[in-house]
Amino acid sequence: NAGVTQTPKFQVLKTGQSMTLQCAQDMNHEYMSWYRQDPGMGLRLIHYSVGAGITDQGEVPNGYNVSRSTTEDFPLRLLSAAPSQTSVYFCASSSLSGNTIYFGEGSWLTVV
Amino acid sequence: EDQVTQSPEALRLQEGESSSLNCSYTVSGLRGLFWYRQDPGKGPEFLFTLYSAGEEKEKERLKATLTKKESFLHITAPKPEDSATYLCAVSGGAQKLVFGQGTRLTINP
């Protein structure tokens, strides 16, 4: 049982480059979301999805795009990376009941 | 706007010395209050979800309690392996979590 799987674990980008952070879950969860964690800021919600084909913005959505074509996958796209997007990114998933929200192991992104 | 404040920011205890971590919150319609443990370089690990004032949950040396304004994570006779950052978060719906900044707990042997 893999749970929530994120790739890559580490990535260095140059300013202006684009990339996609991958997130997959094998628990058939309806809800998936992306958070970023910065020192002194706590985790903040970027985008979330309540099911395939449905996405919405969280607290800090600017500079990020998402789509949800399948229940299992919820990729996060950076279209033109900026140094301010240097952070640790976490993907999370839960069932409709939301009793337990599971997190992945994180993706460390550095934009130079 | 939903807000979560955790205190203290850091806490250092001796092995066996019990204590409590605080999580104060404001939310328009609490759907759940979550406690997580996070080790360095790892993702948050789920501990508890509380839903209504008066509710309590326990797991090994940890007990979480909830009132209408705050939650406490009580740690009884901690061991060095309990050292971690403990995160509190509230959900106002759709599993959208608002996190506090965490309490960094260190247990000295």
Minimum Cα–Cα distance from A108: chain B residue: B41
Q: In the prediction, which pLDDT does A103 show?
A: 97
Nearest to A6 by CA among A110, A102, A111: A102
B100 contacts in A (CB within 8 Å)? 42
From A2's Cα to the closest Cα of chain B, the distance in A is 14
Interface of A with B (CB under 8 A): 4, 31, 33, 35, 40-45, 48, 50, 58-59, 90, 92, 94, 98-106
Give per-residue pLDDT as tens, B60-90: 999 999 999 999 999 999 999 999 999 999 9
Q: What angle do CA A14, B38, B48 make, to 5 degrees?
A: 135
Q: Look at A48 and B95 and tell me if their CB atoms are within 8 Å.
A: yes
Give per-residue pLDDT as tens, A3-48: 999 999 999 999 999 999 999 999 999 999 999 999 888 899 999 9
Give per-residue pLDDT as tens, B4-62: 999 999 999 999 999 999 999 999 888 899 999 999 999 999 999 999 999 999 999 99
Q: In the prediction, which pLDDT does B87 show?
A: 98
Q: Give whole-number Cα distances, A100 to A31, A63, A71, B11, B51, in Å.
A: 11, 29, 17, 27, 12
Minimum Cα–Cα distance from A10: chain B residue: B41
Minimum Cα–Cα distance from B32: chain A residue: A99
Q: What is the band of A2 on the pLDDT scale with cuts at 50, 70, 90?
A: low
Strand residue runs (E) in chain B: 3-7, 10-14, 19-26, 32-38, 45-50, 56-59, 62-66, 70-75, 84-91, 97-99, 103-108
Give per-residue pLDDT as tens, A59-102: 999 999 999 999 999 999 999 999 999 999 999 999 988 789 99
A42 contacts in B (CB within 8 Å)? 4, 87, 99-102
According to DSSP, the residues that pair with B68 across neighbouring strands are none
Distance of CA A8 to the CA centre of its chain: 12
Interface test with B, best of A48, A87, A103, A108 (most B CBs within 10 A): A103
A 10 A CB-CB count for A106 gives 21
Q: Look at A42 and B34 and tell me if their CB atoms are within 8 Å.
A: no
